[in-house]
Structure 1
């Protein structure tokens, strides 16, 4: 006889004599439902000029993004600091860090090559009807001087108030290295930092659980504001970005997993899909970072190594935003402004993509990276204005590709270094978001007799 009859039916979603549990809808299904509902509401708002619905969708999406951004500055700082100090617990830490950076560069080079190839084949700027007059200079443009000098902050407060993630990463890296040098003397600070990081991640999990609602607002607003007509003007370019990202995510990554890591690619996507899906909706690598780290650990990557590689990747590993997109955008803008690009220019694009990817800083959008690429090539910065309108729609696929790569590289490096838990990798399936919800809620809800 069971000591607790209620527990016998816990998780079944059925009513018993002592309790009832509402069936849980998988997180991925909630996101899909949000996408469908968002498209429908956006179409209604635009087709029938429903002002209040348009405003509501805008506010819902904006609030969700703001909640994600609220935790970005402290999350990045403490995640990088803790991740660097955690390397002391890992054997061959320097080797792992070097291999991680090397694979970041290799996959970025492959991604930018695919972007360039697609752009040269499809000529995305031809036949659009757009002219240089349609462009406008961005308010802020990136340059190599700004990039290099902007790494070091003027004080410790401004990077957090202005959300300069690159400077936050710099300060966290310095603090982490200093803590390693201090040894035991820094342990109280490290213990406090680990506690703060766990607190921030827990709070961010609550925000992530709102992602289905945020999806309705973000997708609905995009449809209501931009409509299908705008997408039509950028049809070739939009398809190029999505196809390029898809080729990298579903072509290159599986090939690397099968040939280099020698693991089942389908199992990778089965385990990593919750992070990829959330990245598509949120358009934020940093906002998705807790989910990315969780799925990476579930795929068998040691926790100590994942806690370094994922935060590092969330701020520097951008195959979508910093490789495929700027390559295609440069070709697109060059064709609009009738500028001929040569082999040397394509090499420069690849160089910028590999070295300057940290400029994207894991936030929504890739304007800084694009202006950095254009200024390096000598292309008119007014070209940025041509792409701003369509950017949110492109950014969804770009960010999903970013996050897929951020989970991929730790798996490859772990497999190559023989530290990947293959049993965990082959069994990873459940959504970490669903597990967080399940762990946070009581097992049984009593029902009055």
Structure 2
């Protein structure tokens, strides 16, 4: 089937024309979007070339009082609002996947440009959404889906479009960064810092999506897709959370000159035969304290990009919250509205590379293994032999006395994840190994 965009060019409504906006959702982010849209109305009109006009706000219950929005603009029928002829742009800040997918697809198929902050939706259904936008010759924007106010999607899609990106690595979840940073700075344990994060409002009542890495995995899928011009979904992302990180792990990392962060790591890897593939993963990672990401504290986010020509770049700031997220949403609204007024369309999805997704076991990584072993002569040699027999070289070995046993911390050089994992499983079967306290990956050499 030939898409609409191949046969037509959007000439635009013309300078001075109003741009109708439908807002789906009026929670923390939605209310901030409307506040900024109202407060900055004059400036936005100059930037766009025509005024933004709110046509309606879809909510689940119109009987509830909604500060900041006229009651006559409220509706419980999002589909009817989307279908109106005077709506040009639909802003989706509902959240969730199934219902959000329905309304966003309906908007795109109706010829409306869409701005969404919904990372779970984009990570799960990007192909379907991109195809619908392409077929209707409209824009699909989602800057706020990755790191709220931090501009990452735009630079990957436009500013770095002439470069070769090698890796994208980031702290993209504020809740887990707050917890790990607090554990690092105070020596407290995970449960206490999770409780503190909940008290302060950084963690949800059910923090599973954050602490188990699912939120970061959605964002990793989006980043990998953009960086490597390959369709990556959340199902392609290896995911491991922080709930097993202990105060002892934090202390061991400190002694080694590292800190622990939950990182989303997306990279292009090349096997021994020269074949390329995409690796996307989320897991706790030790990084040196002099690495730029190590200083990202509290609930802040940062994304670190390495490109062939541009070199190393870091984007840092508030990665969550109503106002920061609304800032990114409104930036996308301005872009979509300009196109409605002046014509044209923003760059769509680019998946020409279509590289395979690497199995996690085929991804090179490094291990930091903390274990308790029998304290006797020859144990180090036995353990070193096990690693050597599997083709894994050791970077450092540190030994401490722990009661009747010895605590041994081994740091490997880079090796395939499958080989490292199999080696740890073999360690568990050795009589001299009494317990594996933890296994944490390190940022590779």
Same fold (TM over 0.5): no
Higher helix share: 1
State the structure with bigger RCO (CA 8 A, min sep 6), 1 or 2. 1
TM norm structure 2: 0.29
TM norm structure 1: 0.28
Q: Greater Rg, structure 1 or structure 2?
A: 2
